[in-house]
Structure 1
Amino acid sequence: MTAPPTTAPRTTAPRTTDRRTTDPRPLTLHPDRALPADPRQREVAREIYAETARLPLICMHGHVEVEAFARDEAFADPAQLLVVPDHYVTRMMVSQGVAPADLGIPRVDGGPVEQDSRAIFRRFCASWHLYRGTPSRFWLEHELVEVFGVDVEPSAATADAVFDTIAARIAEPGFRPRALLDTFGIELLATTDAATSTLEHHAQLAAEGLGDRVVPTFRPDAVVHLDRPTWAADIAELARVSGIDTGSYAGYLAALRQRRQAFVAAGALASDHGHLSADTTPLDDAVAARVYAEALADPASVTPERVHAFAAHMLFQMAGMACEDGLVMQIHPGVLRDHHDAVLAAHGQDKGFDIPVATEYTRALRPLLQAYGTDPRFRAVLFTVDETVYSRELAPLAGAYPSLRLGAPWWFLDSPEGMRRFRETATETAGFANMSGFVDDTRAYASIPARHDLSRRVDAGFLARLVLEHRLRVDEAVETAVDLAYHLPRLAYARRG
């Protein structure tokens, strides 16, 4: 009887997950990236995507600073453009043990952080393998190839060469924030601006002919959440910029109305509300006035219960103001901001430690919708990072109330799979017409085209499946894709009233 064969001994070490020392690999973009794997569906998706690929970009929710357009200066360097300000990028490295200071993220106290942009960029390139399977990888590859002309994959070995290629590109005279509006095909871009903003930079852009292209968005969060560390100072600043005494609740509301009108005059189309909860239960005016006055007089009176109640009350109040001035409300609750106190204390807000929580909408929004849900002057766009509510709550709400539209998958759901799940769970109940189009929601200016491109590819794939299932004709699918990419955001954010 023949003895069973033995397993041959290994002659090489097992492959590890660390590929950072391999030879440089070419970096290219596959034309079918993010399109369906099924050949028949992919063929139809290509046809649909071709009709949307070059459409103008409508960017109604983002965080590119208006100062960048007002100054219109050259970007500092590749690390400051692609790494330091992008918490999608930095949080992945931080999760693997890299200290925020080593990524050049400024400290609140002005303490030392890495100042060598090449060192920061080398850490990023050496971490390239960490982004596999993430939307950040899709966006970054698109940027590197399409925007900066990089043709080798980032790695420890190629970091300096990639840095030099990008540095040469951003030094070109045509690579300035304003010129990139045309390069990227951005027809309309909304910045996000505090209620206390003087809007001076927007006034400058308007005087220079860009007032209809770069518009502000009214963001009152800092003055409606009583537990913000700077709340009292922000209330004082609200009084200064509005010229209205905010020492009383009535003066506070009047100042907010004045600032909203200033935003409307500056071209704003929307307001933006980032609350922990979607609760819109109003307080009695006397109770609201007392809570406000006591918060100004004694910070110790600010309990978590009062913070929640006043924020919910002010969300209701903002809906009433929206009926007066026509700004579209963007409501995106459900994120516990600044989860790690030490990171917040050291580096400030928006450093990658914002974590989603379960969010309820049906009961929470009912007071607002009872009052304004069928008012033709009112429009709200609802966002979530809690996917469980798409089919159970958000799609049925948008499918019933004429004032509501569904916002695109946002933040942690701004991914190929998240977008597909959104289409599959929300479309059947809400329909395409109750969608608001894609929002890029980013500080990373150079990533905006990549983000819109990914959304258009995913939509093409979803619509292609409906075609193959004989639920849509090809011409209907193309028309719907164009609507989702261009017409619906224009309609959703048209000023009401």
Structure 2
Amino acid sequence: MKPPSVDRRLFPSDERVRELAAELHAEVADAPIISPHGHVDPRLLAEDIPFSDPADLFLTRDHYVTRLLHASGVPLGDLGLDCDRAVDPREAWRILAANWHRFAGTASGYWLTGELATLFGVHDELSAETSDRIYDRVAAALAEPGFRPRALFDRFRIDVLATTDDPLDDLAPHTRLAADPAVRGRVLPTFRPDAYLDPEAPGFVDRVGRLLAATGRRATFAGYLEALQARRDYFIDHGAVSADHGVVEPFTTDLDPGTAEELFRTALAGTADSAAARVFRGHMLFQMARMSVSDGLVMTVHPGVHRNHHRPTFERFGPDTGHDIPVRTEYTRNLRPLLNAFGTAAGFHLVLFAVDETVYSREVAPLAGFYPSVFIGAPWWFLDAPDAIQRWRSAVTETAGFYRSSGFIDDTRAFLSIPARHDTARRSDAAFLARLVVEGRVSLPTARRIVRDLVDAIPREVFKL
């Protein structure tokens, strides 16, 4: 990469602010990466699995990319998403190259351009004419030892990388990584119990049965809670610092034991209607907060997404294939039972994310500006683009400041995009702070401290690192 004083990507056009943004970015350009929430498969690092080809690396596994190609008329099967149909990765890459102009102005286009340039020395723009040449260059690099996952983990200066894991996972890759002295950074599991808390989730009854059997608990609501706590304890013993909850709505409610037991039995019988399932989910989100108060796991909530919106695509290609669509989110009323019970509990950390931009200034920032437990989650998913990050900072800072936010969260499965995404956030924050300094709203020494804290002290505090 060019030195920060020369590389002005994402900095404001005003020359004075631009120079100051570059100066602030230089403070953190090479700082280690803390990634406390993401979806990289830990086996990638535990087994140091080589990346197979450029299409698998940049295209097939990245739903940011596949969704836009699909919207442009490209069948997902032509991109390698169909397990029953082999696709030549070079042909899939050619499709991406021929449609590259469609990614202009998108976050994924910016990230991929940065990855190709900084990691592979590719400065030519992707096109039908350059497709094969760039493919060959990337493929040749992937065959080198320096492009194995562990080598890149070190090259990216990753200090902490959290994965997302099923409650019944044995966490063997994490055990292997923690015991390996050659792994310099920490790779931490994250407890993700959604499919075990929602009676309407596919396979709920079977999952709960396996959970109870694995922990030796009885099929009662009390036994169910004990089983979940036992698995949380197992994750904590293996280094976990947080539990993640992906819900459609962050509805919470506190039920008396008798009502909870009755609902649990109805859910296990598979006879819970939608209203009962909603109440059960709300009570379980409440119970997860209660457990976090007790065991110290940071509670993160990612609501507001209608997952697998297009049923035919889900049935053929499975989840996480680009058709998860945002819906409106409401926090203030939904979280009131939880926050009345635990909002001021010592040591409780609750990080609230949103895909609905309006909720950040209207609800999340005001909640974080009062409750010591509440932190503002970073721009997530559809909001993790440069302009959206700027809007988010403007929406939350005047109400809650910088130190009630979580630090940047990359939330990615695409391992090679991690440094590009974190650098995007660092540049955006440097630009935002530079403007405040020039406008006389923040002093330069304070801005220097904040830009450093945003990538280190703040995520360490929020995620108890």
Distance 1:48 1:240 in 2: 54
Aligned residue for 1:238? Answer: 211
**1:240 positional shift:** 4.1
Shift of 1:182: 1.1
The 8 Å contact of residues 37 and 163 in structure 2, kept in 1 or not, is answered as yes
Secondary structure at 1:174's aligned position in 2? helix
- Identity in percent: 49
The aligned residue for residue 308 of structure 2 is 338
In structure 1, runs of 5+ residues without a counterpart are 1-28
Match of 2:93 among 121, 124, 146: 121
Letter in 2 for 1:39: E
State the TM-score, normalizing by the size of structure 2: 0.96
Q: Does 1:222 align with 2:189?
A: no
261, 267, 271: which one aligns with 2:243: 271
**Residues 390-439 of structure 1, C-alpha deviations (whole Å, 9 max, x = no match):** 12111110000001110100000001111001111100111111011000
1:45-91 CA deviation, whole Å, 9 max, x = no partner?
Answer: 11111101111100011000011111112111111111111000100
- The answer as to 2:52 corresponding to 1:76 is yes
User: Using the alignment, how far apart are the partners of 1:85 and 1:488 within structure 2?
Assistant: 30
Q: Which residue of 1 aligns with 2:342?
A: 372
Alignment of 1:78-477 (within 5 A): 78-107=54-83, 111-112=84-85, 114-209=86-181, 210=183, 213-241=186-214, 243-245=215-217, 247-297=219-269, 299=270, 301-477=271-447
1:85-116 Cα distance to aligned partner (Å, 9 max, x none): 10001000001111111111134xxx32x421
Whole-angstrom distance in 1 between the partners of 2:190 and 2:148: 23
State how many pairs are aligned: 460
Q: Do 1:61 and 1:190's aligned partners in 2 also have CA atoms closer than 8 Å?
A: yes
**Structure 2: distance between partners of 1:176 and 1:405:** 35
Separation of aligned partners in 2, 1:302 and 1:72? 44
Distance 1:127 1:446 in 2: 21
Alpha-carbon distance in 2 for matches of 1:106, 1:265: 38
Q: Is the 8 A contact 1:249 1:288 kept in 2?
A: yes
Q: 1:188 to 1:228 in 2, by over 3 A?
A: same
Q: Is the 8 A contact 1:274 1:332 kept in 2?
A: yes
Alpha-carbon distance, 1:246 to partner: 5.2
Deviates more, 1:258-267 or 1:207-216: 207-216
Local SS of the residue matching 2:300:
strand
Partners of 1:290 and 1:212 lie apart in 2 by: 46
Partner of 1:52: 28
Closer, same or farther: CA 245–49 of 1 in aligned 2, 3 Å: same
Judging changes above 3 Å, is the alpha-carbon distance between structure 1 residues 211 and 380 closer, same or farther for their aligned structure 2 residues? farther
Amino acid at match of 1:117: P
Query: Taking structure 1 as the reference length, what is the TM-score of the superposition?
Result: 0.90
Aligned residue type for 2:211: L
SS at match of 1:459: helix
Which one has a bigger Cα radius of gyration? 1
Q: Distance in 2 between matches of 1:171 and 1:306?
A: 53
Equivalent position amino acid for 2:127 in 1: S
Shift of 1:247: 2.2
Say if 1:322 and 1:328, in contact at 8 Å, map to a contact too. yes
Cα distance between partner residues in 2 of 1:246 and 1:143:
51
Structure 1 position 362, deviation (Å): 0.6
Q: Indicate conservation of the 8 Å contact 1:271/1:329, yes or no.
A: yes
Classify the secondary structure of the residue corresponding to 1:137: helix
Q: Which has the higher mean CA deviation after the structures are superposed, 39-48 or 277-286?
A: 277-286
User: Is the partner of 2:244 in helix, strand or coil?
Assistant: strand
Q: Using the alignment, how far apart are the partners of 2:255 and 2:141 within structure 1?
A: 55
Conservation of the 8 A alpha-carbon contact between 1:384 and 1:409: yes
Tell me how far apart the structure 2 counterparts of residues 202 and 354 of structure 1 sit (CA, whole Å): 29
Unaligned runs of 5+ in 2: none
Of the structure 1 ranges 228-237 and 48-57, higher mean CA displacement relative to structure 2 is found in 228-237
Q: Is the 8 A contact 2:195 2:202 kept in 1?
A: no
* Amino acid in the other structure paired with 1:56: P
User: Contact 1:203–1:211 (CA<8 Å) still a contact in 2?
Assistant: no
Partners of 1:479 and 1:170 in 2: how far apart?
A: 38
AA in 1 matched with 2:252: T
* In 1: Cα distance, 2:411 partner to 2:313 partner: 22
Q: Distance in 2 between matches of 1:163 and 1:238?
A: 45
For 1:250 and 1:275, locate their aligned partners in 2 and report how far apart those are by CA, in whole Å.
23
Distance 1:68 1:155 in 2: 30
Task: Establish whether residue 35 from structure 1 lines up as the match of residue 7 from structure 2.
Answer: no
2:7 corresponds to which letter in structure 1? P
Structure 1 residue 67 corresponds to structure 2 residue 67: no
Aligned-partner Cα distance in 2 for 1:212–1:238 = 31
Distance 1:159 1:285 in 2: 62
Deviation per CA, 1:302-350: give whole Å up to 9, x if none: 3221221111111100011011111000111111111111111111111
408-417 or 114-123, which moves further after superposition?
114-123
Report the CA distance between 1:204 and its aligned residue. 1.4
8 Å CA contact 1:211–1:266 kept in 2: the answer is no
**How far apart are residue 211 of structure 1 and its match?**
9.0
Q: Is the 8 A contact 2:161 2:185 kept in 1?
A: no
Distance 1:50 1:451 in 2: 16
Give the Cα separation in 2 of the matches to 1:427 and 1:272: 24
